Amino acid sequence: MAFSIQQRPAHIAALAERTLDLLVVGGGITGAGVARDAALRGLDVALIDRDDFAAGTSSRSSKLIHGGLRYLEQGDVGLVFEAVRERQRLLKLAPHLALPQSFVVPVYPGARHGVLMLDLGLTIYDTLAAFSGVLRHRAYRRGRLLGLEPLLHPSVRGGVRYFDAQTHDARLVLANLRGAHAAGAIVASRVVFESPRLEGERVVGATVRDLESDRAIEVKARTVVLCAGPFADDAMARFLGNPPPRPIIRPSKGVHIVVPRARLPLSEALLMSAPDGRVVFALPWPQVSVIGTTDTPFAGDLRRPRTTVADADYLLEVTNLNLAAPAGPLVRDDIVSTWAGIRPLAIGTRDDGGTYKTSREHVIHSDPRGMVMIAGGKLTTYRVMAAQGVEAAMELLPASRRERAQPCVTADLPLPGAEALPSGKAPLEAMAALLIKERGVSGGYAHHLARTWGSDAVAILDDAAAIEDGMRPVLSGVPTRWAEVEWTIRHEMPMDLVDLAVRRLPLYYVAGERVLEVADALAARLCDVAGWDDARRAELVRGLRDHVDEGRLCEGDA
């Protein structure tokens, strides 16, 4: 069965038919990584999520693959070493999902750290990465730094430039899920874990519910792996039958705002200092600039964190202190779109009173009855968390199943979209050149396809040839074409327009409420493939409109 919305009923049916080694609960980056790792080892795996894949934290991050420079200051050298090593792997195994990005750290009068201290810290940072794959940092005096980034305030004294990578976080999740599915895993969204099934003191399965049909399904499984992110406490309560004795997760809200590139035409990504000592990123995207993130304790609805006026004002203030936008300071009216997410900070790794200083290290808990829970961690190190989680789950399997499993191969196996890229040091550039030469695609669009889809760009162009308007842009000023929409619907299981236009394709982020101009056309295509009626089509449009409304600034957290 294909990884397609058309084949979802087959995936749901398979949940009731197979006996699983692992039932993975949670379709964020950790769960997706676990499912791919376990399936590639030859284990029988299924993954479910009560919402869309990557609907929570894993589509609401800063969209960076980075070692965590600021963690050096906190003494988390081990975490930084692990993260830069994983960054290097992703640059090699998924170059379309880990795009090298230069960052400038300006030093202004009164800064906590001068250029020499930053230079020393980044020397350690580069050393941990063994100087491989990404260019080394350099320190710059004022004039040279302003040449790199003219938007810096003239009072800048100097600074440093170093390298990490940007990603499309939700697409990284989808790539792992597609890889898991290709290796034999069952994958389904809109399926909720209700309770485990026990025989004596041993897990033999779980009761889950398909939210599309509201039908309960009895799943046979030898272990349950909980990868619920911010909802770890709720998932544990469902497994235990009552809340865990102490909280597992300390929620922290992170907010990002998006402004037009014309208002903030960044040449470099910036790591900016805030008056309260935090750091905030300003990131150049092709059509917009992204500013974030906040880091504040959160006690509201974990499913619907909002961007408040105070959140936006904080990010605007930090940006205006560090950068001189060409047409004057940024204001609220410049904001095109926003997103807010919850960091699932694991309690017990470090808890010293402020979420900003809580460690991003993960914890893995095993229950001898047949449950593994993975909590905390960070996007960059998801593969390590997944491998460790699978190893923990395998310890709970019968010996005959453990002996069947193969070693972990995810450290060396390219992700979907990278398997057929040209070899060499610049595979995306080579892919773009191939598309220009053999498919007659313009240079700008060829680079968009290569950087977004990797080697899947070839299949998308094949689809474009069969679609009347396949090469027509979905929205003016946005490079996405209708062929990309069609391919996404048929190959990435979107179930509504938020799945499609926010997570799979970042139309909302770069166009804001203008995405509503094409909501009906997007819904029509999705309904045509899925076989849904006009009532469902209207529901899809309402859902996207509600998401756009939730992205507007509000006065306070609910």
Each residue's pLDDT tens digit in the chain (558 positions)? Answer: 789 999 999 999 999 999 999 999 999 999 999 999 999 999 999 999 999 999 999 999 999 999 887 777 776 777 888 899 999 999 999 999 999 999 999 999 988 888 998 988 888 888 887 755 567 899 999 999 999 999 999 999 999 999 999 999 999 999 999 999 999 999 999 999 999 999 999 999 999 999 999 999 999 999 999 999 999 999 999 998 988 888 999 999 999 999 999 999 999 999 999 999 899 999 999 999 999 999 999 999 999 999 999 999 999 999 999 999 999 999 999 999 999 999 998 885 444 444 333 445 789 999 999 999 999 999 999 999 999 999 999 999 999 999 999 999 999 999 999 999 999 989 999 999 999 999 999 999 999 999 999 999 999 999 888 898 999 999 999 999 999 999 999 999 999 999 999 999 999 999 999 999 999 999 999 999 999 999 999 999 999 999 999 999 999 886
Dihedral sign computed on CA atoms, order 483, 484, 488, 494? negative
Q: List Cβ<8 Å contacts ≥24 apart for 393-399.
A: 393/21, 393/22, 393/34, 393/38, 393/223, 393/225, 394/43, 395/366, 396/222, 396/223, 396/366, 396/368, 396/370, 396/371, 396/372, 397/21, 397/222, 397/223, 398/222
Give the per-residue pLDDT at 417: 97
Strands (DSSP E) contained in 85-157 are: 99-107, 138-141
Quote the pLDDT of residue 359: 45
Long-range contacts of the stretch 79-86 (C-beta < 8 A, 24+): 79/359, 79/360, 79/361, 79/381, 80/125, 80/128, 81/128, 82/381, 82/384, 83/378, 83/380, 83/381, 84/125, 84/128, 84/129, 85/128, 85/129, 86/380, 86/381, 86/382, 86/383, 86/384
Cα separation, 66 vs 165, in Å, equals 6
Cα 99 versus chain centre, distance: 14
Structure tokens at 301: 């609805």
Residue 509 contacts residue 502 (beta carbons within 8 Å): yes
CA distance 527 to 494: 11
* Beta-carbon contacts of residue 476 (< 8 Å; ≥ 6 apart): none
Write down the domain spans for the chain: 15-58+170-248+358-404, 99-168+250-345, 427-550
Give the angle subtended at the CA of 171 by the CAs of 52 and 334, to the nearest 5°. Answer: 90
Q: Token pair of 486, please?
A: 């069609």
What's the confidence (pLDDT) of residue 77?
A: 79
DSSP-derived 3-state class of residue 267:
coil
Class of domain 99-168+250-345: alpha beta
pLDDT for the residue 360: 54
Instruction: Return the pLDDT at 329.
Output: 98
Q: How far apart are CA 31 and CA 225, in angstroms?
A: 8
Position 113 scores a pLDDT of 85
Q: How buried is residue 291: exposed, middle or buried, by Cβ count under 10 Å (0-12/13-18/19+)?
A: buried
- Alpha-carbon distance 204 to 394, whole Å? 15
Chain-centroid distance, C-alpha 69 = 19
The pLDDT value given to residue 194: 97
- Dihedral over alpha carbons 537, 541, 547, 552 (to 10 degrees): -170
User: Does the domain formed by 15-58+170-248+358-404 have CATH 3.50.50.60?
Assistant: yes
Provide the whole-model pTM.
0.96
Residue-level pLDDT at 348: 57
CATH among 3.40.1160.10, 1.10.10.10, 3.30.470.10, 1.10.8.870 for 427-550 = 1.10.8.870
Tell me the C-alpha distance between 208 and 220, whole Å: 11
What residue type is 127 in one-letter code? T
The maximal CA–CA distance of the chain, rounded, in angstroms, is 72
State the pLDDT at residue 131.
Answer: 54
